[in-house]
Amino acid sequence: MIRFCYWTLLLSGILPFLQSCQNNKDEDVVIVTTAPEFQVDLFERRDVVDGHPEFGLWIQSLEKYPCNNYVIEYAVQMADGKIDVHLSNVAAPDTCHGSIASARAFIPLGNLVPAAYPFTLSLGSAIENKGTLYVFEDRYEMSLSDPQGIDFQNLVVKKMKPGLLWGNIKTPDAATSAHAVDFLNELKSITLEPALAPGYYSYFTVSGTGLIVPHTASVPGGPAQFFLRTLEGSSAPLQNLLQQYRSSPQNALQIDCLSTFGAF
C-alpha cells in the first residue's frame, strides 16, 4: 500500500505535540511536510512499432518491493483543458517475478497540443499537488510549487528530432564486453554522432560536456553498455548488423535498440 507520511503523523500523535509547542498567538500555523514516496519524470515514450511519441509521466517508487512486477495503480482524468492524475495504491502481483525492485509505471497523457494545462497529481486522499504543464513545440515543462510526497527529477523534457537511435548491450562477462566493443565500432561506421544540445531527452540526458547518461527506463538489470547514434538513409545496414551480432554462434549479444522510427 502507499504509505503517506501525513497519516503517519496523525496516527502517531505528533501533530498534537506540535500544537502544544505553539505560543498563544492565534495566527500561528503548524505546517506539516511529507517526505517523497515517488520519483517522477516528464517522459515522451516511443512506440516500438513505428516510433511515434506518447507523452506522459514516468513514476518510480522509492520503496523497494520483493519483486519487480509490483503495480502502481492510477487514474487519469482529462477534461476542459485540465489534467488530473491520481495515484491510489501499489499493488502486489499474483505471482512475483524477478528480484527486489522499485514499482514503476508509465502514465500516458496523450499527444498534447502546445498550451498551458492546469495539472494535479494526487496521492491517495491525503496529498494533492497542483501546478501547470506547459507544452511547447520543442519541449514540455512542469511548474509545481512545493510538491509533497513526490520528487520530480526532471521538470523539463526536450522532444527528440527524427533519426535518433539508442539502446543498450548487456555485458555480463569479459567476453561479452569485448564482443560489445566490436559491435559498437561497427555501429559507428554506419551511423553518425548525434548533435544534441545539453538537456534531458526522456531515455537519456546529455550533459554540458557531452556525457550521455541513460534514464532508468533505458537501463536493464545487470552490467550494460549504452549507445546513442543518428541514423540517416536506409535502416538495412543497421538491421543486418544487429542480426549478425544477435545470432552470433559465439557470444551472441542481447541488444535493445529503439529509435524515433521504432524498435530494431
pLDDT, one tens digit per residue, over 187-238 is: 999 999 998 999 999 999 999 888 999 999 888 878 999 999 999 999 999 9
pLDDT band at 163 (very low <50, low <70, confident <90, very high): very high
Q: Report the number of distinct structural domains present in the chain.
A: 2
Shortest CA distance to 236 belongs to which of 260, 264, 255, 258? 264
Instruction: At 128, list the grid cell.
Output: 494533492
Specify the pLDDT at position 219. Answer: 84
pLDDT surpasses 80 at 29: no
Residue pair 131/144 in contact by the 8 Å Cβ criterion? yes
* Same domain as 205, residue 227: yes
* Same domain as 128, residue 191: no
* Same domain as 180, residue 139: no
In a domain, 214, yes or no: yes
In a domain, 18, yes or no: no
Specify the pLDDT at position 218. Answer: 87
Specify the pLDDT at position 114. Answer: 97
* Same domain as 224, residue 129: no
Could you tell me what percent of the chain has a pLDDT over 90?
A: 77
Specify the pLDDT at position 23. Answer: 42
In a domain, 14, yes or no: no
In a domain, 111, yes or no: yes
For residues 169 and 188, give the distance between their C-alpha atoms in angstroms, rounded to a whole number.
Answer: 15
- Average the pLDDT over each of 24-28, 52-56, 107-111, 157-161 and give the range with the smallest value: 24-28
* Same domain as 128, residue 63: yes
From the number of C-beta atoms within 10 Å of its C-beta (0-12, 13-18, 19+), residue 42 rates as buried
**What average pLDDT does range 17-44 have in this prediction?**
59
Specify the pLDDT at position 33. Answer: 52
Cell 534531458: give the residue. Answer: 200
Domain housing 41: 36-158
In a domain, 216, yes or no: yes
Last residue of a domain, one of 138, 158, 178: 158
* Same domain as 149, residue 49: yes
From the number of C-beta atoms within 10 Å of its C-beta (0-12, 13-18, 19+), residue 130 rates as middle
Contacts of 197 (CB under 8 A, 6+ apart): 158, 206
pLDDT surpasses 80 at 30: no
For residues 97 and 249, give the distance between their C-alpha atoms in angstroms, rounded to a whole number.
Answer: 29
* Same domain as 239, residue 151: no
* Same domain as 81, residue 194: no
Instruction: Please provide the distance, in angstroms rounded to a whole number, between the alpha carbons at the two ends of the chain.
Output: 38
Q: What distances in angstroms separate CA 99 from CA 60, 112, 222, one per listed residue?
A: 16, 36, 12
* Same domain as 87, residue 174: no
pLDDT tens figures, 122-135: 999 889 999 999 99
Contacts of 222 (CB under 8 A, 6+ apart): 170, 172
Specify the pLDDT at position 11. Answer: 33
pLDDT surpasses 90 at 17: no
pLDDT band at 155 (very low <50, low <70, confident <90, very high): very high
Higher pLDDT, 47 or 21: 47
Residue pair 103/60 in contact by the 8 Å Cβ criterion? yes
Specify the pLDDT at position 208. Answer: 87
Last residue of a domain, one of 121, 137, 158: 158
Q: What distances in angstroms separate CA 49 from CA 236, 242, 249, one per listed residue?
A: 16, 17, 28
In a domain, 104, yes or no: yes
pLDDT surpasses 90 at 1: no
* Same domain as 132, residue 184: no
Contacts of 29 (CB under 8 A, 6+ apart): none
* Same domain as 45, residue 138: yes
* Same domain as 142, residue 69: yes
Instruction: At 20, list the grid cell.
Output: 502544544
In a domain, 60, yes or no: yes
Shortest CA distance to 124 belongs to which of 187, 195, 186, 38? 38
pLDDT tens figures, 246-257: 999 888 999 999
pLDDT surpasses 70 at 92: yes
Mean residue pLDDT across the chain: 87
Last residue of a domain, one of 158, 192, 218: 158
In a domain, 24, yes or no: no
Please indicate, yes or no, whether the overall pTM of this predicted structure exceeds 0.75. yes
